[in-house]
Amino acid sequence: MAQIQVTNLTFSYEGSYDMIFDNVSFVIDTDWKLGFIGRNGKGKTTFLSLLLGKQEYAGGIHTSAVFDYFPYQVPDESLTECGAELLEQMKQGCELWRVLCELEALELDAEILYRPFDTLSYGERTKLMLAVLFSGENDFLLIDEPTNHLDQNARETVKCYLNSKKGYILVSHDRDLLDACIDHVLVLNRRTIEVQSGNFSSWWENKARKDAFSLAENEKHKKEIGKLNKASRRVRQWADQNEHTKIGFDPVKEHDRFKNTRAYIGAKTKKMQSRVKQMEERIDREIEEKEGLLQDIENPADLKLFSLRHHKEVLLTIKEYSLTYPDTKESVLQNLSMELRQGERVFLKGRNGCGKSTLIKAILKNADLTDVINGQIENDIINESGLIAVASGLTISYVNQDTSFLKGSVQKFCACRGLQESLFCAILRQLDMERVQFSKNMEDFSEGQKKKVLIAASLLTPAHLYIWDEPLNYIDVFSRMQIEKLILSCQPTMLIVEHDVRFREKIATEVFDLERV
C-alpha cells in the first residue's frame, strides 16, 4: 500500500481565467476503492490527467504508485484490428493469459479478442478495456465513467466486477454503482475538497447532517449579529446624546448641574463608547465564524419546464410494429404494441442493440421531425411494418444521446434553435454551469456540460411530449437529483431511455421492456 499526497495543488488551463484547483491538499491510499464525486466541470477528469503527468501544475503530487487510465484511446486507423492485436497498444507489457482471466470474471467469451474492435458494442468494448486495465500488477487504476452508454445487464456485470477489485479511483455519477463499489469518497465540493470513508449514500447522509448544522449555525450567528447591531446602535446613540450635554446647560431646568459635571459626563461617554467598541469586536468575531459555513451547501434552484396540454388523451399509439435494418434479415423489433397517454413517463428498457434508440428515431420520423437528430434522420435506415400513430399537432422536445454535433458559441446555438439566450443561460446557471463557460465554444465543454446544453434547450421548449434518449450520460449526481425533482413536480409526458436505476425508480410510471414484448 502506498499513499498519494497532494500538496498545495494549483491548476488552470492556459488561456482560461477560471481556476480548476486553487491551493488544495489531501492524502489518499492506493489500497482504497475510491469514488470521485463532483459537479460537471469541477475538475475530476482534469485531476486524473494531472496524476498521469499530462498537464503542468503548481504544487506537488507525491507518490510511488504507477497509474493506468480507463478508457483507452483506440486510434481510428486501428479500429478494424481485433482486440488481441490492440492489447500491447492499450497497455504496455499486457499478457494475454491475464486478460483471458479477467474476461471470464466479466462474463465475456474469449472470442471477443478476435473480432474487429469497431464491431464490438459499447458494453463489449468497456469490458475488454477493463480486462486489460486490471491485467497488470500493482497499478493504481484511474477509471473514468465506465458505465456511460451501457445497458442495465452490462452495468450489473461491471458493478460486480469492480466490487471484487481494489486500488482504484472511480469517477462516476451512477449512485447505484458508487454504493456497490467504493469504500472511500473524494469529493470536490463547491469550495473545498474532502476525503471520507464510506460509499455515496453514507457520504450523502453525512453531508445532509453537516449542511443542516451549518444552516442552523448560520441562522444563530445572523440572529446574534442582529442583536449586537441593534444594541450597538442604541448605546452609540446614548453616547452621542450624552456627549452633547457636556457643554452648555439650562440652570433652571438642570438646577443640579454645574461646570464640574463635564468631567463626569465625559467619563460616562467614554465608558459607553468602550461598550460600543466591544460590541463591534463581537460582531466581527460572529461574522468571521459565520464565514465559510455555507460555502459547500448544495442548494440547487428549482428548474421549470414548459409542458403543454394536448386535446387528446393518447399521444402515441404503436400497434404490431416491426422493424428491421435493410442489410439484415433479423428483426430489431417485432410485433411491438404500446400506448403513451398524457402524464405518463414511460421508460424503454433493454440491452444495447435491442432497438430503443431506433424506435425513438422511427417515432420522430412518423411525427415528421426529420431534422432533430444531428440534422437529419436517414429515411432508408429501417424497413418497418405495423403502425406508429402520433397525435396530430403534437409538439415534441427531444434530447439526443449524441453530443458530437454541438459546436460554436452558445449565442449561435440559441439563434439556430430559436431560444431566448438570456433564459437559456439562466437555466444553465441553475444547472450549475459557471458564467465563464458561456464565452467558450461548446466543443470545449465537458461531456456533462454538453448534455446540460441539450437538457436546457429541451426544458425551454414548450412541448406536449418530451423524448429523452440517455439524457443523464456524464451528468453529475446533484443535477440528476435536480432533474428528478423537476419531473416529479411538473409531471410532463415523457418517453425516456435511461439506464440509471435510481432515476428510473423515482421517475417512471411504467417500464416497457423491449425484450419481453
Cell of 318: 404503436
Report d(CA 278, CA 72) in Å as an integer: 63
CA end-to-end distance (rounded Å), the chain: 51
| Residues 46 and 104 placed together within one structural domain of the fold | yes
Report d(CA 66, CA 64) in Å as an integer: 7
Residue 198 lies in a domain: no
Report d(CA 271, CA 245) in Å as an integer: 15
Residue 296 lies in a domain: no
The secondary structure element, H or E, covering residue 385 is strand 383-390
Helices 421-430 and 447-459 meet at what angle, rounded to 10?
120
| Residues 396 and 474 placed together within one structural domain of the fold | yes
Q: Is the four-CA dihedral 112, 116, 121, 125 of positive or negative sign? A: positive
| Residues 250 and 336 placed together within one structural domain of the fold | no
| Residues 376 and 280 placed together within one structural domain of the fold | no
Residue 38 lies in a domain: yes
Cell of 271: 465608558
Q: In what order do the strands lie in the sheet with 58-62?
A: 21-29, 3-11, 58-62
Residue 301 lies in a domain: no
Helix (H, G, I), strand (E, B) or coil at 237: helix
pLDDT at 275 exceeding the cut of 60: yes
The secondary structure element, H or E, covering residue 24 is strand 21-29
Q: In what order do the strands lie in the sheet with 331-341?
A: 331-341, 314-324, 383-390
Report d(CA 148, CA 327) in Å as an integer: 28
**Whole-Å CA distances, 214 to 168, 198, 223, 282:** 32, 22, 14, 20
Taking only the tens place, the pLDDT of each residue in 303-357 is 888 899 999 999 999 999 988 776 666 667 888 899 999 999 999 998 877 888 8
Report d(CA 165, CA 437) in Å as an integer: 37
pLDDT at 140 exceeding the cut of 90: yes
| Residues 165 and 244 placed together within one structural domain of the fold | no
For the chain, the maximum distance between any two Cα atoms, rounded to a whole number of angstroms, is 116
Instruction: Please report which confidence band the pLDDT of residue 10 belongs to, taking 50, 70 and 90 as the band edges.
Output: very high
Q: What is the mean pLDDT of residues 228-255?
A: 64
Taking only the tens place, the pLDDT of each residue in 410-468 is 999 999 989 999 999 999 999 988 888 898 899 988 888 999 999 999 999 999 999 99
Report d(CA 470, CA 309) in Å as an integer: 25
Number of domains in the chain: 3
Looking at 164, 190, 216, which one is the last position of a domain? 190
| Contact (Cβ atoms closer than 8 angstroms) between residue 103 and residue 110 | yes
Give the DSSP letter string of 295-338: TT---PPPP---B---S-SEEEEEEEEEEE-TT-SSEEEEEEEE
pLDDT at 141 exceeding the cut of 90: yes
Least confident of 15-24, 183-192, 275-284: 275-284
Task: Give strand pairing partners of 12.
Answer: none
CATH of the domain at 157: 3.40.50.300
CA 443 to centroid of chain Cα atoms: 18
Residue 374 lies in a domain: yes
| Contact (Cβ atoms closer than 8 angstroms) between residue 476 and residue 40 | yes
Instruction: Please report which confidence band the pLDDT of residue 59 belongs to, taking 50, 70 and 90 as the band edges.
Output: very high
Residue 303 lies in a domain: no
Least confident of 171-185, 249-263, 484-498: 249-263
Q: Cβ of 10: how many Cβ atoms within 10 Å?
A: 13
DSSP 401: S
pLDDT at 208 exceeding the cut of 50: yes
Instruction: Please report which confidence band the pLDDT of residue 380 belongs to, taking 50, 70 and 90 as the band edges.
Output: very low
Residue 295 lies in a domain: no
In 106-147, which ranges are continuous DSSP H helix?
Answer: 122-133
Residue 472 lies in a domain: yes
Burial of 295 (0-12, 13-18, 19+ CB in 10 A): exposed
Looking at 256, 290, 324, which one is the last position of a domain? 290
| Residues 259 and 158 placed together within one structural domain of the fold | no
| Residues 181 and 231 placed together within one structural domain of the fold | no
| Residues 352 and 457 placed together within one structural domain of the fold | yes
The pLDDT of residue 375 is: 43
Looking at 162, 190, 218, which one is the last position of a domain? 190
Report d(CA 79, CA 278) in Å as an integer: 74
pLDDT at 517 exceeding the cut of 70: no
pTM (two decimals) = 0.78
The pLDDT of residue 244 is: 60
| Residues 20 and 124 placed together within one structural domain of the fold | yes
| Residues 284 and 347 placed together within one structural domain of the fold | no
| Residues 270 and 338 placed together within one structural domain of the fold | no
The pLDDT of residue 379 is: 45
Residue ranges making up the domain that contains 213:
208-290
Report d(CA 168, CA 30) in Å as an integer: 7
| Residues 369 and 499 placed together within one structural domain of the fold | yes
